[in-house]
Amino acid sequence: MSILLDASTRLLIQGITGKEGLRSLEWVTAYGTKVVAGVTPGKGGQEVDGIPVYNSVDEAVAAHPEINASSIYAPPRFVRAAALEAIAADVPLIHIIGEEVPVKDTVDILHAAQKKGVRIVGPASIGLISPGKSKIGSIGGDDNQQFAPGNVAIISKSGGMSSEIALLLKAHGYGQSTVIGIGGNQLIGTTYADVVDDLENDDDTAAVIIIGEIGGLYEELLAEKLATLPNHKPYIAFISGRFAETLPQGMSFGHAGAIVDKHIGTRIGKIEQLQAVGAHIAENPSAIVKILDEIGIPKE
């Protein structure tokens, strides 16, 4: 198994005729993802590599009711409209790659999605992949050589680190069940805590790696969630930002989701809370493999 996507995923790409949309189409179809339709307002009736293009999500879903995911490739100022359109059409999984989406727009998107029970991954998400089955977004680029099917899930704020850790695991014989770049914005649709139940219920996930950073409360919220599950699977967390510990106390700094203020969102605070609920802490990326070996996670 995997979470959020698998071989049954049927993808819609919003903004399919733009440069980034076209590149995503090339990359995901090459990996085996079934893209069934695209949307670009004003370009309905065209085709891109045999994929029909529609003017609206409603038109696409009416023609292809099997659509169960959408990936939005639109400029930041247009993301809100595109996402609300997909939410209104009851597309259950929506991936948003765009960075610098206005905070107010993100609030509107998340509020609408919550009311409809729609899963949002992003904004600023590189994408998600179930190795050997399907992928959405630009994760893995055009070759995906860093990923391999396996039993370790990776959930990361950083898109680059999700690939780096996957490559590290692969080099040591560990494959991945699911890899998700959740995005590093202050507000995101899917947090670490949001996928815990999915991961706990996934028979093919034996361990979970969390790649976090200073700032925000998402790692702390994960700790709160794990505290309700005394027999949870092994979680291994690497929290970047050690350099911040050398700066004067009380400084406020950061960007997007990496904002630290006094003791809120500190690396040490996150580590202490995760350790308190049984998570393993990796002081550096290479320590992740050592921990997996020590706790006896089987290699694929």
Q: Which residues are catalytic?
A: 255
Going through the chain in order, the beta strands assigned E by DSSP cover 10-14, 34-39, 47-48, 51-54, 69-72, 93-96, 119-121, 127-130, 134-137, 149-156, 176-181, 207-213, 235-240, 252-253, 260-261, 280-281
Q: Is 160 helix (H, G, I), strand (E, B) or coil?
A: helix
b/e burial code for range 179-214 (CB count within 10 A of at least 16 → b)? bbbbbbbebbbbbbbbbbebbbebebbbbbbbbbbb
Edge-to-edge strands of the sheet including 207-213?
134-137, 127-130, 176-181, 149-156, 207-213, 235-240, 280-281
Tokens representing residue 19 in the block: 């440069």
Q: Is 87 helix (H, G, I), strand (E, B) or coil?
A: helix
Contact predicate 198/4, CB 8 Å:
yes
The full length of the chain comes to: 300
C-alpha to C-alpha distance for 231 and 39, rounded to whole angstroms:
44
Longest dimension (CA), the chain: 59
